[in-house]
Amino acid sequence: MLDRGSALRIAGWALTLVVGWFMITDLLPDLQQASWAVRANAGLGVPANVVLWIGVSGVAATLLYLLPWTSPLGAILLTGFLGGAVMTHVRVNGAAWDIGENILIGVVAWLGLWLRDPRLRRLLPARFT
């Protein structure tokens, strides 16, 4: 049987890997400059010459988030990256799902980090009473 700390760590890593998988698969078309990704970004007002840099910065933030020794920095950078995505969708009156999806990914990223890092749990304790 697992102790509480091990169970939290496993759950945290599971959420972290889901966020990492989602981010990488979502950003691969930007890195590949797929024509449909460039067109989709153009519909959001993003010029074609910026799409690659969006992919690079998103993947860099994700990799920093996945590495244990840089995960707090990665979580902060992912939060900023996803906040930019939210603002872009809000600016063009995007679908509520597109806005909510980016918020949800950011919340799950921080929850995964909180669950897997006891130092963060001490810094930000959960109060359920």
HSE-CB of 32 using CA atoms within 13 angstroms: 10
Between CA 65 and CA 107 the distance in angstroms is: 13
Nearest partner of 49 among 62, 26, 36, 33, judged by Cα = 33
Residue 40 confidence (pLDDT): 94
In order along its 129 residues, the chain shows pLDDT tens digits of 789 889 999 999 999 999 999 999 999 999 999 999 999 999 999 999 999 999 999 999 999 999 999 999 999 999 999 999 999 999 999 889 999 999 999 999 999 999 999 999 999 988 776
Task: Name the token pair of 99.
Answer: 């806005």
Domain map (residue ranges) of the chain: 4-123
Between CA 109 and CA 47 the distance in angstroms is: 28
Residue 114 confidence (pLDDT): 97
